[in-house]
């Protein structure tokens, strides 16, 4: 029996035999090296903190693992676990997987610098390769350090980058600020997309904010796309210290649930975060 043809299609059969429910399980491609980069210094500014994700483990002197599956206020479908975070080859990798854990059918990771690293003003650069697919919701963001005492949105929130996957949405990022306005949640932000059909999962991009006592401006690959004036008293939350959060949610009120087009596992790969002041 000539088994050569069978051996040629075996990897394909393995990939599709691991389908679960309405989504598809596949092997991950290599991490691409192409993409946009930013410098490690700017005139008139000092590098206040950075994580280049060297070594083979997350620096828990700077980062916390937040775990659980309570929906996180957005009816998300994942259970956040430490095991879904990997540091290798100079990258932080967060995997979103379809697997049962607790009472959830998906797992991922959520990391914070709460209680360890917080900043007020400066430039923040985060170089990352994003996931894709319906129901996939990666975020690189910051929360007011007062959240434990005053709650949300009174603490303020700055979303440096959010993406909701699926269709053409895999090419668009959002930058948003949230705050409390006389007892009501208020927000302001904008979005920026790629051209020519490229996806944010194809190569690395740099997501940035430049934050001063007067304004926050959002950038992708050094191109500004939205600015908010934070001088008014009603947005005073945005002039206080913030800590960072990185996560990949699955499902939720904004992106909706995964469907038959969604492929697992998905990953967000972060090359670096740098804070200049």
Query: Does residue 103 register a pLDDT over 90?
Result: yes
Catalytic residue among 28, 76, 82, 162: 162
Residue 24 lies in a domain: no
The per-residue pLDDT for 168 is 86
Q: What is the arithmetic mean of pLDDT over 223-241? A: 98
What's the CATH code of the domain at 269?
A: 2.60.120.200
The per-residue pLDDT for 22 is 64
Residue 240 lies in a domain: yes
Residue 165 lies in a domain: yes
What's the pLDDT tens digit per position in 145-201? Answer: 999 999 999 999 999 999 999 988 999 999 999 999 999 999 999 999 998 889 999
Q: Tell me which residue range forms the domain holding 152.
A: 52-276
- Tokens 């997501």 belong to residue: 207
- Would you place residue 71 in the very low, low, confident or very high pLDDT band (cuts 50, 70, 90)? very high
The per-residue pLDDT for 26 is 77
CB under 8 Å to 83, separation ≥6 — which residues? Answer: 107, 109
Residue 79 lies in a domain: yes
Cβ-in-10-Å burial (0-12, 13-18, 19+) of 217 comes to middle
Question: Is 162 a catalytic site residue?
Answer: yes
Mean predicted lDDT score pLDDT of the chain: 92
Query: Does residue 11 register a pLDDT over 90?
Result: no
Q: Long-range contact list for 176-180, CB < 8 A, 24+ apart?
A: 177/216, 177/228, 177/230, 177/235, 177/238, 178/152, 178/153, 179/153, 179/154, 179/234, 179/235, 179/237, 179/238, 180/153, 180/154, 180/237
Pairing of strands 263-264, 24-25: parallel
Query: Does residue 19 register a pLDDT over 60?
Result: no
Rounded CA gap, 93 and 66, in Å? 15
Query: Does residue 212 register a pLDDT over 90?
Result: yes
Rounded CA gap, 273 and 54, in Å? 12
Residue 41 lies in a domain: no
Q: What is the arithmetic mean of pLDDT over 207-235? A: 98
The per-residue pLDDT for 221 is 98
The per-residue pLDDT for 24 is 80
CA distances in angstroms from 77 to 53, 102, 103, listed in the order given: 28, 11, 9
The per-residue pLDDT for 12 is 37
- Find residue 139's DSSP bridge partners: 162, 247
Tokens of 123: 């430039």
The per-residue pLDDT for 59 is 98
Residue 213 · residue 239 · CB < 8 Å: yes
Q: What is the arithmetic mean of pLDDT over 25-42? A: 91
Q: What's 6's DSSP letter? A: H
Residue 40 lies in a domain: no
Question: Is 76 a catalytic site residue?
Answer: no
The per-residue pLDDT for 17 is 37
Q: What angle do CA 193, 198, 204 make, to 5 degrees?
A: 85
Q: Which of 63, 95, 58, 102 is nearest to 79 (CA)?
A: 102
Query: Does residue 49 register a pLDDT over 80?
Result: yes
Percent of the chain at pLDDT exceeding 70: 92
Residue 249 lies in a domain: yes
Q: Long-range contact list for 64-69, CB < 8 A, 24+ apart?
A: 64/111, 64/112, 64/113, 64/114, 64/115, 64/116, 65/109, 65/110, 65/111, 66/110, 66/111, 66/112, 66/245, 66/247, 67/110, 69/101, 69/102, 69/103, 69/104
Rounded CA gap, 20 and 157, in Å? 36
Q: What is the arithmetic mean of pLDDT over 33-43? A: 96
Residue 82 lies in a domain: yes
Catalytic residue among 66, 157, 234, 237: 157
- The helix/strand count (H/E) of the chain reads as 2, 20
Indicate the number of domains in the chain: 1
Rounded CA gap, 18 and 28, in Å? 13
What's the pLDDT tens digit per position in 75-98? Answer: 999 999 999 999 999 999 999 999
CA atoms within 13 A on the CB side of 207: 30
Query: Does residue 15 register a pLDDT over 60?
Result: no
């Amino acid at each position: 029996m000539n088994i050569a043809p069978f051996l040629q299609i075996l990897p394909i059969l393995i990939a599709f035999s691991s389908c679960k429910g309405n989504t598809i399980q596949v092997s991950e491609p290599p991490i691409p090296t192409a993409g946009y980069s930013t410098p490690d210094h700017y005139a008139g500014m000092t590098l206040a903190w950075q994580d280049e994700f060297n070594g083979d483990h997350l620096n828990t002197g700077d980062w916390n693992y937040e775990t659980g599956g309570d929906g996180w206020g957005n009816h998300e479908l994942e259970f956040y676990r430490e095991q879904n975070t990997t540091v290798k080859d100079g990258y932080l990798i967060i995997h979103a997987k379809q697997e049962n854990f607790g009472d959830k059918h998906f797992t991922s990771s959520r990391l914070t610098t709460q209680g360890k690293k917080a900043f007020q003003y400066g430039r923040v650069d985060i170089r990352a390769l994003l996931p894709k697919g319906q129901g996939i919701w990666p975020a690189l963001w910051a929360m007011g350090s007062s959240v434990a005492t005053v709650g949300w949105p009174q603490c303020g929130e700055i979303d440096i980058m959010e993406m909701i996957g699926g269709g053409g949405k895999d090419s668009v990022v959002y930058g948003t600020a949230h705050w409390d306005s006389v007892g009501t949640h208020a927000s302001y932000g904008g979005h920026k997309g790629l051209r020519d059909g490229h996806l944010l999962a194809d190569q690395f991009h740099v997501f940035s904010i430049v934050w001063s006592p007067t304004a926050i401006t959002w950038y992708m690959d050094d191109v500004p796309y939205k600015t908010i004036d934070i001088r008014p008293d009603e947005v005073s939350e945005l002039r206080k210290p913030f800590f960072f959060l990185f996560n990949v949610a699955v499902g939720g009120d904004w992106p909706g649930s995964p469907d038959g087009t969604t492929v697992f596992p998905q990953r967000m790969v972060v090359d670096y975060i740098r804070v200049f002041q």
